[in-house]
């Protein structure tokens, strides 16, 4: 091997130019990079040469200028392959320990080497550099997520979505009453105080809430005596939020629970005011609450479709306002859920009430409340076991057609796999659904199991939810004890092909319209969803949302808290990239897709997407070992 310092101006410029193109040195200024270049040494290593030996002292940060290297744990187990721009040797420098990895030149390689003293000085003086040189990909990704959150906090609109609820209340004096007051007196109190909502308390404890709508629907509409106590018509134990909660959280609670008034409490749990949906609507233009309100007010399918198609405008508004991916996906999902519910309501109004109880069940991303732009529909009907095809089939077939056709007109296109209530296979009595799941679980078919995983993310969004809960309880009872089925499901998850090559280069799919792309849904998000699903099924967790599944798995010991934190950071980072990508597409007038050209990524996004893929690959390996017998 040949070693040498940097002497000529051209050599220094070439090294500085190279450093400026690669993380983390691209975060340094011109003068700092130039000074760093002067401290570099250049070494050439022929193929198969040992650059660092395991168990020895290392005195350089190594940067691959050209060529490629292999990292072998203890000198035997291959752990990484790195190409141009790759860095190695820094963990031993940071922790002042002997090296754990042997590093061997995979091909003839030119390496820039920064002496230990100079590297440690660079590290100590640059907090941004410290995040990159954390011990592993998970740590780097955690720093990246922290950076994203800090950038959101500096966003022009962040103050709006992060505003504390206590500061949004307009009235200094809150009007309350006891639950024993008569309806007549409660109505007069509301009229005199000019309020549309009356919190009902016992002492300082909130026990109920009364609104103008309650008086219209529950009293005037039902000929109830106004001399009865208000407790007869109030909404008992309403949802509340703290004065310290933020506006974004309040919007999400209102949209998910379909409520229009939210009591706000102080640190002593005393009611200090009521926030209305109008308060929020007046603060935002095209937001989820406004679109949801328009969908609910729609009187025909055409009006539902017109309102629902504004979901793209909501998505860009959420991204532009700095809303994080978790909240954004829940808002987008709420719009999808409300669209389903309103279309079903309109269809039932036209066809008449259902002849037997049934539930509308959704699968996949909507069931998990993880929708993004461009979602299709995945749904079915669970019918009561009293179902008689001769008496009931025509009604539910027509109902399903009205629903699915309406969803398609609203932008939720027909499922390519025909997982819709219009397909008789997915419009069956509860007993048939149970038998189907039992066969899937007890005799899993390797050729079909990939196609059924979506059915293990299910949620009722209309009708008799008890039917779906009955099915879910039975499914979890079966899956949690069936090791063979869990092995098959884990094997499917572990078979995901992470789009990262040996040299940390992206492995791209080819799309006829969009060229060579990363498919963020199938190549990045699906593996994380699969990991969360395997833990949910193995532990019998009732949660459907991936984030909630992982957090619950950590609580009961199925997955380490550190592992969950790593996966959640991956999930947040990747979904943030997807929402920004889809927002850009919408602004250009294109439909939102999951296909992303790496050319559009910033260096920050590119490097940390690679870190995320590395973390995902590690956890897929864990699934393979723990559930699939290490079989791919």
User: Is the confidence at residue 31, as pLDDT, over 80?
Assistant: yes
Average pLDDT over residues 21-49: 89
First-to-final CA distance of the chain: 40
> Is pLDDT of 158 > 50?
no
Q: What is the DSSP string of 272-310?
A: EEEEEHHHHHTT-SS-HHHHHHHHHH--SHHHHHHHHTT
Q: Copy the structure tokens of residue 288.
A: 């989820």
Highest mean pLDDT among 14-28, 90-104, 331-345: 331-345
Residue 134 neighbours by CB distance under 10 Å: 17
Q: What backbone phi and psi angles, to 5 degrees, belong to 562?
A: -65, -40
Spatial separation of the C-alpha atoms in residues 422 and 379, rounded to whole Å: 9
Q: How far apart are CA 115 and CA 103, in angstroms?
A: 17
Residue 362: per-residue pLDDT: 98
pLDDT of 217-248, one tens digit each?
Answer: 788 767 788 888 999 889 898 889 898 888 77
pLDDT of 284 > 60? The answer is no
Q: Give the model confidence (pLDDT) of 421-436 as tens digits.
A: 999 999 999 999 999 9
> Is residue 266 pLDDT above 90, yes or no?
no
Give the pLDDT of residue 9: 59
Checking if the pLDDT of 151 tops 70, the result is: no
- The first and second tokens of residue 361, run together, are 């069940």
Q: Tell me which range, 136-145, 167-176, 466-475, is most confidently predicted by mean pLDDT.
A: 466-475
pLDDT at 401 over 50: yes
Reported as a pLDDT band with limits 50, 70 and 90, residue 287 is: confident
What mean pLDDT, rounded, does the chain reach?
A: 86
Q: Which helix (H) or strand (E) is 105 found in, with range?
A: strand 101-105
| Least confident stretch, 106-115, 488-497, 584-593 | 488-497
User: Which homologous superfamily is 10-133 in?
Assistant: Jelly Rolls (2.60.120.10)
Place of tokens 């009872």: 477
More confident position, 386 or 252: 386
pLDDT tens column, 89-135: 988 888 788 888 899 998 999 999 999 999 999 988 887 777 677 54
Residue 506 is given by DSSP the state B
Distance CA 104, CA 46 (A): 10
d(CA 483, CA 197): 53
Percent of the chain at pLDDT above 70?
Answer: 88
Q: Report domain extents, the chain.
A: 10-133, 162-326, 354-630
Confidence of residue 8 (pLDDT cuts 50, 70, 90): low
- CATH of 162-326, picked from 3.40.1280.10, 3.40.50.300, 3.10.580.10, 3.20.20.70, is 3.10.580.10
Give the per-residue pLDDT at 190. Answer: 86
Given a cut of 70, whether residue 202 has pLDDT beyond it is yes
Average pLDDT over every residue of 558-586: 91
Q: What is the pLDDT of residue 150?
A: 59
The confidence score (pLDDT) of residue 64 equals 93
pLDDT per residue as tens digits for the range 480-490: 889 899 999 99
Q: Is there a shared CATH topology between the 10-133 domain and the 162-326 domain?
A: no
Please tell me the pTM assigned to this model: 0.71
CA dist 90 and 61 (Å) reads 6
Better-scored residue on pLDDT, 350 or 444: 350
């Amino acid at each position: 091997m040949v070693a040498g310092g940097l002497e000529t101006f051209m050599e220094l410029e070439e090294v500085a130019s190279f450093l400026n193109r690669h993380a983390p040195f691209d975060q340094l200024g011109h003068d700092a990079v130039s000074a760093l270049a002067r401290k570099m040494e250049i070494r050439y290593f022929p193929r198969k040469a040992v650059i660092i030996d395991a168990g020895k002292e290392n005195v350089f940060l190594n940067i691959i200028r050209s060529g490629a290297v292999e990292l072998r744990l203890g000198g035997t187990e291959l752990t990484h392959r790195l190409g141009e721009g790759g860095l190695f040797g820094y963990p031993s420098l940071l922790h002042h320990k002997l090296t754990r990895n042997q590093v061997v030149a995979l091909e003839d390689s030119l390496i820039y080497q920064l002496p230990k003293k100079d590297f440690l000085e660079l590290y100590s003086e640059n907090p941004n550099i410290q995040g990159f040189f954390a011990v592993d990909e998970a740590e780097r990704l955690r720093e990246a997520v922290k950076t994203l959150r800090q950038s959101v906090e500096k966003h022009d609109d962040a103050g709006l979505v992060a505003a504390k609820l206590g500061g949004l209340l307009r009235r200094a004096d809150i009007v309350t009453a006891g639950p024993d007051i008569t309806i007549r007196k409660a109505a007069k109190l509301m009229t005199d105080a000019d309020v549309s909502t009356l919190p009902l308390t016992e002492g300082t404890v909130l026990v109920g809430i009364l609104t103008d709508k309650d008086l219209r629907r529950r009293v005037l509409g039902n000929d109830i005596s106004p001399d009865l106590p208000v407790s007869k018509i109030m909404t008992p134990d309403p949802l509340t939020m703290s004065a310290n909660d933020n506006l974004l959280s309040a919007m999400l609670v209102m949209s998910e629970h379909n409520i229009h008034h939210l009591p706000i409490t102080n640190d002593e749990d005393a009611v200090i005011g009521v926030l209305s949906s109008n308060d929020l609507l007046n603060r935002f233009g095209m937001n989820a609450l406004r679109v949801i309100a328009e969908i609910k007010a729609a009187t025909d399918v055409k009006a539902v479709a017109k309102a629902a198609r504004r979901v793209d405008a909501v998505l860009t508004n959420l991204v532009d306002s700095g809303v994080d991916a978790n909240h954004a996906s829940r808002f987008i999902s709420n719009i999808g859920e409300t669209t389903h519910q309103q279309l079903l309501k309109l269809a039932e109004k036209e066809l008449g009430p259902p002849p037997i109880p049934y539930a509308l069940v959704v699968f996949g991303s909507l069931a998990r409340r993880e929708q993004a732009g461009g979602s299709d529909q995945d749904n079915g009907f669970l019918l009561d076991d009293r179902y008689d095809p001769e008496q009931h089939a025509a009604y539910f077939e027509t109902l399903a057609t009205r629903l699915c056709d309406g969803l398609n007109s609203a932008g939720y296109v027909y499922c390519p796999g025909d997982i819709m209530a219009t397909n008789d296979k997915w419009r069956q009595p509860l007993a048939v659904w149970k038998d189907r799941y039992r066969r899937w679980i007890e005799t899993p078919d390797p050729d079909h199991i990939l196609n059924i995983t979506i059915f293990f993310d299910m949620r009722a969004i209309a009708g008799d939810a008890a039917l779906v809960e009955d099915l879910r309880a039975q499914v979890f009872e079966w899956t949690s004890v069936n090791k063979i089925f869990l092995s098959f499901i884990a094997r499917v998850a572990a078979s995901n092909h992470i789009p990262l090559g040996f040299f940390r280069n992206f492995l791209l799919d080819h799309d006829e319209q969009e060229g060579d792309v990363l498919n963020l849904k199938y190549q990045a998000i699906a593996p994380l969803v699969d990991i969360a699903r395997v833990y949910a099924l193995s532990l019998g967790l009732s949660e459907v949302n991936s984030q909630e599944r992982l957090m619950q798995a950590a609580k009961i010991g199925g997955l380490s808290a550190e592992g969950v934190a790593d996966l959640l950071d991956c999930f947040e980072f990747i979904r943030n990239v997807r929402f920004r990508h889809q927002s850009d597409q919408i602004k250009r007038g294109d439909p939102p897709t999951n296909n992303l050209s790496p050319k559009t990524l910033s260096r920050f996004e590119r490097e940390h997407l690679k870190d995320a893929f590395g973390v995902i690959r590690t956890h897929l390996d864990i699934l393979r070992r723990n559930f699939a017998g290490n079989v791919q």
